[in-house]
Structure 1
């Protein structure tokens, strides 16, 4: 039961974020936003989808249950959600799952962006490691931490290039 509550929470969160991202995409494209990294975006979506499928399969096939550290890990994950929503709220309409840049806009330097360039990516990295650890799903934790690291290298390079080219500091 707890497995489905946790997975359901994070899946619903992702689906809601996709709706918010779609709404924000329309708004920023209406004011001239340019999309970057469209070629890698489907791979990122596929990776996140595969993460949840892998997690479910590993838990079911190997009969995994909650870790002995479940409560500590869950509290840590919930705390990271504060950072996630702080980052999303700090970007407002500019937040998106895609890389959308409005030329000559100011780089956001409020909220967690005062200290980190990519706080939401840090939260995602934590989630992809710690959600599987809630259920001792080590294969999913290791595999998707590695895949996400590769994806973040590609994504951050693309995003930084676009930001440096089109935004005001």
Structure 2
């Protein structure tokens, strides 16, 4: 719903910009002395810009209210999993969990930047972050259904990037 609102807002503003260009194009054939013309265009431009900022600010605020995933946060009794990316594999300190168990994946890299994306069995993304050398990004996950999840690299990291994956098993 919010993406549709953002799409329509974008179309309206693009139409406004096209309208300004068409207006300038139509009136460009009229010759007037530059110094004698009162420039109303500057005022219109200023109000258009301010209106654009206000509307896009409101649209951004509304569309970011309901993100399609749970807010990440630390929980008590969570399992800490070290997740290290390297060309061309993931090393997880643990890869078997139970449904409802809070987990924090501490994601880092041994060599270059990698992506760390966890996908369910329908290949829908569950969580993701960057894996960077000498830096640890925490990813908080609580699996809600059993199954086999895949960890895939989301950042092109070299010639065997496509084989870089790990498996996570979640049971009842």
Task: Flag whether TM exceeds 0.5 (same fold).
Answer: no
Q: Which has the higher contact order (CA 8 A, sep 6+)?
A: 1
More helix by share: 1
Larger radius of gyration: 2
Q: TM-score, length-normalised on structure 2?
A: 0.30
More strand by share: 2
Q: TM-score, length-normalised on structure 1?
A: 0.30
